[in-house]
Amino acid sequence: MNSHPVDDPQSVGLVKTKYYTFGSPPDYPLVMKSGRTLAPVTLAYETYGSLNESKTNAILVLHALSGTAHAAGYHSLDDPHPGWWDIYIGPGKVFDTSKYFVICSNVIGGCNGSTGPSSINPETGIEYGLEFPIVTIQDMVNAQWHLIQHLEIPKLLAVTGGSMGGMQALQWAISYPEMVKSSIVIAAASSISAQGIAFNEVGRQAIYRDPNWNNGDYYRTSVPGNGLALARMIAHITYLSEKLMHEKFGRRLQDTELYSFDFQSEFMVESYLYHQGIKFVTRFDANSYLYMTKAIDYYDIKSDYDDNLLLAFESTSSDFLVISFTSDWLYPSIQSREIVNALRANGKNVVYTEIETDRGHDAFLLPDDRLERNISNFLKSQFRKMIS
């Protein structure tokens, strides 16, 4: 009888998604940065490992644009895929669940269990659609704060994430300095570039122009699958480096040795992007894609501090580990160094590592000994400080 990956001693095994709801009367609603309110709010989340008696070992893992609360382990024995950061979460791994209590929640505005545009609006009895309030990174973090309060954790050993998750990790350190011992920011920036906004807008336009989008009201009809698939294809290009794409695909053809002299997909890279787009449609909501990309576009730490990044970090009290990748052109290293320089100008304790790799922006999701070593050593140091 073949063994299942859940039997691996370094796997967290079978896991179950949990749900926490707040904001229902008589509780206060979540006040969004836009000024609108949201209630009730449900957060889907998973936990791995155990909270120690002193509650000093909790780590909040924050996902990127298309992530979920399912960061590690398997939902069933038939589940073919582990959580999105399973390579780093588990006994003996970077986020060692024999030592740390790891939490991951799906962000608000998402479509994997947390309240978002596909959720039922209690005022109308149907899906929110575009009636859902615009979400910001700050709103995501404020909602997560309620979850951490529910779990009765006074201070997090670390907050960590890559890409949009790294933005949330930065915001946690700014919004709740007294609750964060350390912040691990990977492949992120204090604000996305104009080029990044441009790619996000092209993806949104692809969804808008799908005949099935219907101004976001498609939940009881046909989903705008073609538009969402195209948006994903566009975005996926930005996650890879040119060198990686060349090595992985080059100009090789798929299932043929000769040009077809028509407009069918025949290059391997075309087939790969097409597959990525179709796969994405089966697990993600088009409206959530609009909301997530808009949240990334709106994020600009210094905008709330007189356009001064130094001032934005002035009140932070956590230690920082900032990691970038040389081939990441979506969130290039210069943006990470901007964060590091602002933190150091404020006298903050910062460790910065630029990892040389050809894997592009998605490198934080892939196995890497240097990434593992940097995070593991940093966490061990922070844990010793936390319990001393």
Which entry of 114, 118, 182, 361 is annotated as an active-site residue? Answer: 361
Q: Is 95 exposed, middle or buried (0-12, 13-18, 19+ CB in 10 A)?
A: buried
d(CA 285, CA 130): 12
Q: Are 289 and 231 in contact (CB under 8 A)?
A: yes
Joined together, the tokens standing for residue 75 give 């939902």
Which entry of 285, 328, 362, 368 is annotated as an active-site residue? Answer: 328
163: annotated active-site residue: yes
Q: Are 175 and 142 in contact (CB under 8 A)?
A: yes
Looking only at the bridges linking them, the beta strands covering 101-105 and 58-62 are parallel
What are the phi and psi torsion angles at 60 (to 5°)? -100, 115
Q: Are 327 and 359 in contact (CB under 8 A)?
A: yes
HSE, side-chain direction, 13 A CA sphere, residue 263: 0
What are the phi and psi torsion angles at 144 (to 5°)? -65, -35
Looking only at the bridges linking them, the beta strands covering 30-31 and 37-38 are antiparallel
- For residue 104, which of 134, 84, 125 has the smallest C-alpha distance? 84
Q: Where are the beta strands (DSSP E) in the chain?
A: 18-22, 30-31, 37-38, 41-48, 58-62, 101-105, 158-162, 182-186, 319-325, 350-355
Joined together, the tokens standing for residue 6 give 């859940």
Q: Are 286 and 218 in contact (CB under 8 A)?
A: yes
CA dihedral 198, 229, 62, 144 (to 10 degrees): 90
Which entry of 163, 182, 191, 333 is annotated as an active-site residue? Answer: 163
d(CA 371, CA 378): 11
Q: What is the set of active-site residues?
A: 163, 328, 361
